[in-house]
Amino acid sequence: MARISEETINEIKLRNDIEDVVNAYLPLKRAGSNYVGLCPFHSEKTPSFTVFPANGSFYCFGCGAGGDVISFIRRAENLDYPGAVEFLARRAGITLVLDDRDAAQQKKRRRTLEMNREAAAFFHACLNDPALGAAGMAYLRDKRKLSMALIRHFGLGFAPDAFGRLTDFLRKKGYQDYEMADAFLCGVSRQTGRNFDYFRNRVIFPIIDVTGDVVAFGGRVMDDSVPKYLNTSDTPAFKKSRTLFALNFAKKCCAEQMILCEGYMDVIALHGAGFENAVATLGTAITPEHARLMKRYTKSVIISYDADEAGQRAADKAFRQLGAVGLEARVLRMNGAKDPDEYIRSFGADAFRRLLEGAFRLEGILRNNDITTTDGKVKALEALENVIAAAPSAARREIYIGIVSETLAIGADMIRRDVEKKIRSSDRAQKRAESERIILASQGVGDRVNVDFIKNPQAAACEEKILGILLLHPEYLTKALRENAAPPPEIFFTAFGRKIYEQMLSYQGENFDISRLGESLTVEEVDRLTELRMRREALTDNTEALLSSLLETLRGATRKKELSTEELIRQKREAAQKKKNQSSP
């Protein structure tokens, strides 16, 4: 995104107090001049999320998430930088004034959405045309037993078995081939060079976001072609990892509970049977972004995946992902059907409703183990105690302990002791893992933000201290630039450090803060910069003299690395020459 005017960004931040914005997502308690609460971005029992009204920032001392109000909305709403700015602008009643580059990007997104709407209308018309959509209509009406009302409700369509029918249609509407390619609606044949429709001979499922825009499509093939399902890749208007099918409908009735399915047809069947709180991921496993998105709209999730082994493995993964963001999750176990669609068609909506009412992780474990045998009872107890130990509150653990005690005829005190032992063991394991993570992180191992750290930890650590001081005191850079004494970016060893420093230079150091980098950085990079600044805030010595000393140290570390590289090259050349001389007659 190109830069929105700095005056507009400042006005947006000024009229969106960070404590007010954050408090709409989680309850905050005053702690001196700051506010604390349970972090919405990771699961925790003790508050480590802190809001600093004095400088309009937040930081989680548990997971490292941090930044300003724009960064918070990026994470909380799963938005990119321009989306977060627009969100806050609407909240404050501010009209955005965009520059040329930003206007061009917005136009590209708008054109994609308009083109998707035209494509959705085209697919729907084809489905209702007996000459074009007979196969699709037969599949939906005869095989899947969908009513016309349900087909219209979801805007289902059909892509004819022709190479260029949609492409020709969109061309007549004024869209260019490259726009269709960007929107994942058409491609170019490597053999003939001709354009072709991506979706052919497929039932089409339009993907509609919560604002009502058609952002993507899913297509189910009518023959044995592969892939069976074809889904839109990421486009200017669509991110697969941040979108849920049918959330535009489910958001109206899922405040207490949401049903998570594997596929489009499961969701449509559930909505048709009256379960309008059902959603699905889009041909991909659940992601942390999906989990956070669901947390925005509901308090609990019932995972209704296929009953086969693969489906249950995926359900267990989803259970963990949802629990990680603090959502209560339940896994639905179905007997006599492979998926929700088949279950409803076989046993009816009332039977599925009763299944939902009894859907609970504890019950699933009890159903899968024969507790009339000693071995089955022991296995069930072990699994149940693991679930209880993972419960987020002591009150909920007590309820579960009571249920298990009564069901298995085992004393509650014995179960409670086992659970407490598991909790202590888990806490110790987490502390060990965290200590190992901190040690490895200090060495740059597994650093996804600053991937070059491990190559030269001394130089990288020095860079981070320099960046922290400059983030805390941008006036140092302003003064250096004014005196033509600012060091060149080349002294930075890591690509990350060099990138950030170059960004600072582009602003000439004046009135610089982290939020001004947000448009060109990922949220993880903003987190790192927030952490670097906070490290320096906790120290007393952040003087220009220290900055000069660190810059000299960095120059020395970089030179040492360069010399080491040159020496290595020299040694390789000498070895090669020696080998050549020995082989000469």
d(CA 172, CA 170): 5
Q: What angle do CA 187, 192, 198 make, to 5 degrees?
A: 25
Final residue before a domain boundary, out of 43, 70, 92: 92
Q: What is the pLDDT of residue 1?
A: 43
Question: Strands 258-261, 278-280: parallel, antiparallel or unpaired by DSSP?
Answer: parallel
Q: Which residue ranges in the chain fall short of pLDDT 50? A: 1-2, 509
d(CA 156, CA 137): 10
Give the rounded distance of the alpha carbon of 440 from its chain centre. Answer: 25
Whether 348 and 405 map to the same domain: the answer is no
Whether 328 and 396 map to the same domain: the answer is no
CATH code of 213's domain:
3.90.980.10
Residue by residue, DSSP assigns 440-490 as HHHTTTT-SSSTTGGG-HHHHHHHHHHHHHHHH-HHHHHHHHHTT-PPPGG
Q: What is the pLDDT of residue 420?
A: 92
501 assigned to some structural domain: yes
576 assigned to some structural domain: no
Which H helix or E strand runs over 221? strand 214-221
204 assigned to some structural domain: yes
Under a CB-based contact definition with an 8 Å cutoff, are residues 24 and 35 in contact?
A: no
CATH code of 84's domain:
3.90.580.10
> Which residue, 514, 517, 503, 510, is CA-closest to 476?
510
575 assigned to some structural domain: no
Q: Which residues does 569 contact at the CB level (< 8 Å), separation at least 6?
A: none
Query: Which 8-state DSSP code applies to residue 50?
Result: E
Q: Which domain holds residue 49?
A: 6-92
> Which residue, 528, 526, 550, 555, is CA-closest to 469?
550
Under a CB-based contact definition with an 8 Å cutoff, are residues 66 and 527 in contact?
A: yes
Query: Which 8-state DSSP code applies to residue 520?
Result: G
Give how many domains the chain has, as a whole number.
5
- Strand partners for 261: 280, 304
Q: What is the pLDDT of residue 474?
A: 84
Whether 106 and 148 map to the same domain: the answer is yes
Whether 212 and 265 map to the same domain: the answer is no
Under a CB-based contact definition with an 8 Å cutoff, are residues 260 and 280 in contact?
A: yes
Residue 267 is encoded by which pair of tokens?
Answer: 């969701």
d(CA 238, CA 251): 19
Whether 121 and 72 map to the same domain: the answer is no
Final residue before a domain boundary, out of 337, 359, 381: 359
518 assigned to some structural domain: yes
Q: What angle do CA 244, 248, 249 make, to 5 degrees?
A: 110
Whether 219 and 268 map to the same domain: the answer is no
Whether 429 and 508 map to the same domain: the answer is no
> Which residue, 302, 283, 274, is CA-closest to 245?
283
16 assigned to some structural domain: yes
Final residue before a domain boundary, out of 321, 336, 359: 359
Q: What is the pLDDT of residue 2?
A: 47
Distances (CA, A) of 360 to 300, 313, 373, 395: 11, 16, 22, 17
Whether 232 and 109 map to the same domain: the answer is yes
Q: Which residues does 230 contact at the CB level (< 8 Å), separation at least 6?
A: 198, 199, 202, 218, 219, 221
- Strand partners for 204: 157, 219
d(CA 307, CA 51): 44
Query: Which 8-state DSSP code applies to residue 5?
Result: P
Whether 157 and 114 map to the same domain: the answer is yes
Helix (H, G, I), strand (E, B) or coil at 579: helix
| φ, ψ (nearest 5 deg) of residue 245 | -65, 130
Whether 352 and 375 map to the same domain: the answer is no
Whether 351 and 254 map to the same domain: the answer is yes
Under a CB-based contact definition with an 8 Å cutoff, are residues 155 and 120 in contact?
A: yes
d(CA 468, CA 206): 47
- Strand partners for 202: 159, 221
Question: Strands 328-331, 300-304: parallel, antiparallel or unpaired by DSSP?
Answer: parallel
136 assigned to some structural domain: yes
Question: Strands 300-304, 195-197: parallel, antiparallel or unpaired by DSSP?
Answer: unpaired
Q: Which residues does 303 contact at the CB level (< 8 Å), separation at least 6?
A: 260, 315, 318, 319, 322, 329, 330, 331, 332
Q: What is the pLDDT of residue 160?
A: 96
The long-range contacts involving 405-412, CB below 8 angstroms and separated by at least 24 positions, are: 407/366, 407/371, 408/371, 408/377, 408/380, 408/381, 408/384, 410/381
| φ, ψ (nearest 5 deg) of residue 306 | -55, 150
Whether 478 and 462 map to the same domain: the answer is yes
Q: 509-523 as b/e, with b when 16 or more CB fall inside 10 Å?
A: beebbbbbbbbebeb
> Which residue, 470, 530, 518, is CA-closest to 67?
530
Summary mean pLDDT of the chain:
85
d(CA 318, CA 306): 13
For the CA atoms of 553, 556, 557, 562, what is the dihedral angle to 10 degrees? 160
Query: How many angstroms separate the first and last alpha carbons of the chain?
Result: 64
407: number of CA atoms within 13 Å, CB side?
Answer: 20
> Which residue, 239, 352, 252, 264, is CA-closest to 302?
352
CATH code of 246's domain:
3.40.1360.10
CATH code of 534's domain:
1.10.860
Q: What is the pLDDT of residue 513?
A: 63
